[in-house]
Chains A and B, each alone.
Chain A
Amino acid sequence: MPNSETNTRTRREFFANVVMGSGLLLGLGGLAARFAEFLYPVVPPQKLIKALAGKLSDIPKGGARMFNPLDAHVMIVDDGTQLLAFSAVCTHLGCLVHWDSQAERFVCPCHHGVYDTDGNVVSGPPPRPLERIKLAIEGDQIFVFLAVREEPT
């Protein structure tokens, strides 16, 4: 029975190749996954920290000013009745908004998103209002509560 022997051998070879090929693919896939894992950064959890932003006298009456406590970008605005704090990061694509004192609006220079003094979108492409930041006034000092990531040690 030479033919059937040849067939059996061929089938055996075929299955051996399938097993070896699958093993190789799984091995390489696993290695690629480890490479991707290596590239994926470790992101520490966020922690709420109270940080000094500035002084009351730093905010112009009816105007706004940016502060950078803990490397964050905080816009504090005096809307005539109270002080409000926002993240100055535009919710569209992450540029920093400017305060337009003439129009009394926050304007993003990148894609022309415009927000009012409450942080709501007035015009342009931003998908949501500016992120509100909790603030506290102690004497003449303004403190803000920031979500900060701890650097890995």
Chain B
Amino acid sequence: MKRLINWLHERVPISAESLREPLREPLPVQLKQWVFCLGGTPLMLFCILACTGILMTFYYVPSPTHAYDSVQSITSHVRLGWFIRGIHRAASHLMIFTVLLHMIRVFSTRSYRRPRELNWIFGVASFLTVLGFGFTGYSLVYDQRSYWATTVGTNLLGETPIIGKMLLYLIRGGPDVNPNTLTRLYDFHVGVLPTILALLIVSHLILVRLHGVARLENDPRTETYPFFPDHVLRECVIGMLLLVALISYVILFPPDMGPRANPIETPSEIRPEWYFFPSYRWLKLVPLQIGLLGSMLYVACMFLWPFIDAAFERVAPRRRLGQILGMCGFLVTIIFLVWEAVAGM
């Protein structure tokens, strides 16, 4: 055994000592509270999604004539297919939810402030990438909702000023939704977006390690506790709870499918997944160009939030105008989400 270790050490010259220091990184004591441990959850879900996603690619056929049947076959005929697809689907919803929770936590504790602005930007980019996963993912099922969500979503991109038409053609593979569109969405879902998200996660983690975890404002506590084993064990507990929750959900609510995509009929009741409810409601309320520009402005504000908040703080240091404005934006988003959810009941 010792000879094997020596052989390995000669080829991979990393000593246990050199690993010990980064593993023992001192973390602020607030991380002992569960609400501050949300950052690791999307990473665990990403791993679950990657595993179940890879498994499904063994059976999924990305062609308009076979996609629906292949998903149906995964759900009904493949051994434990319903379970793998169910976990993938539930984990995708949970991923969006947990990234949102993590962002809300970072927003409310203002952990995005100097020098962590870039990390917030990586976080927002990750959130948008995760939404892109959601969109491309449910487009692949090729049921009615998939088809019409693809039509609406890509048309919306096509309305982007200046580069809209180019984006539309690149994503659709032509001016209209066509057989090539599904292949492209599949490529985005299994190749482009995972690469982007993996790079964003790595960059995000590197910056967290370089800056250290942000301490809370006005928190006098200076105690720390080590990343390993204390925090890792805490994350493991969350991981196990996550698995139990996912498995229970899939057993109680196995994945289903809507009717097969029909390009000559838009169903009378059609809505996107819950995470697109706010933008869906917003687009119903206002003319298209205003809707699009408003959405772009919203995303730009999300990206630039650390700088906007800092500017407000310079203008009125004690009033917390930035936080009040941010909370208003967040509340409007929640109101649109609930409004659309209630309207569809």
Contacts and interface: CB of A to CB of B under 8 A. Distances in A.
Contacts of A95: 148, 151-152, 266, 270
Contacts of B317: none
Contacts of A43: 169, 174-175
A96 B155 CA distance: 13
Given A93-B151, A96-B264, A112 B287 contact: no
B145 to A, nearest CB: 11
A125 B151 contact: no
Interface in B48-104: none
A66 interface: yes
B269 interface: yes
B170 A40 contact: yes
28 contacts: A40-B166, A40-B169, A40-B170, A41-B172, A41-B173, A43-B169, A68-B264, A71-B263, A73-B264, A93-B152, A93-B288, A94-B151, A94-B155, A95-B148, A95-B266, A95-B270, A98-B266, A109-B266, A109-B267, A109-B270, A110-B266, A110-B270, A111-B280, A112-B284, A125-B284, A125-B288, A126-B288, A127-B287
Q: At the interface, is chain B mostly helix, strand, loop or mixed? A: helix
Contacts of A112: 284
A112 B291 CA distance: 15
Contacts of A68: 264
B323 interface: no
Contacts of A108: 266
A92 interface: yes
A103 interface: no
Contacts of A97: 266
A39 B170 contact: yes
A127 B270 contact: no
Nearest to A94: B155
Interface string B252-291: 0000000000011111111000000000100111111101
A41 B170 CA distance: 7
Interface in A86-123: 92-98, 108-112
Given A93-B156, A96-B264, A127-B289, A111 B283 contact: yes
A109 B262 CA distance: 15
A98 B268 contact: yes
Contacts of B265: 96
Interface of A: 36, 39-41, 43, 66, 68, 71, 73, 92-98, 108-112, 124-127, 149
Nearest to A36: B170
Contacts of A109: 266-270
Contacts of A124: 284
Contact of B174 (A41, A73, A92, A110): A41
Nearest to B180: A41
Given A92-B288, A95-B266, A109-B269, 18 more contacts: A39-B170, A40-B166, A41-B172, A43-B174, A66-B264, A73-B264, A94-B152, A95-B270, A98-B266, A98-B268, A109-B270, A110-B152, A124-B284, A125-B283, A125-B284, A125-B288, A127-B287, A127-B288
Contacts of B283: 92-93, 111, 125
Contact of B284 (A40, A41, A66, A111): A111
Contacts of A66: 264
Contacts of B285: 125
Interface in B128-179: 148, 151-152, 155-156, 166, 169-170, 172-175
Nearest to B265: A96
A144 B44 CA distance: 56
Contacts of A127: 287-289
Interface in B266-325: 266-270, 280, 283-289, 291
A-B pairs with the 3 shortest C-beta distances?
A94-B155, A96-B266, A95-B266
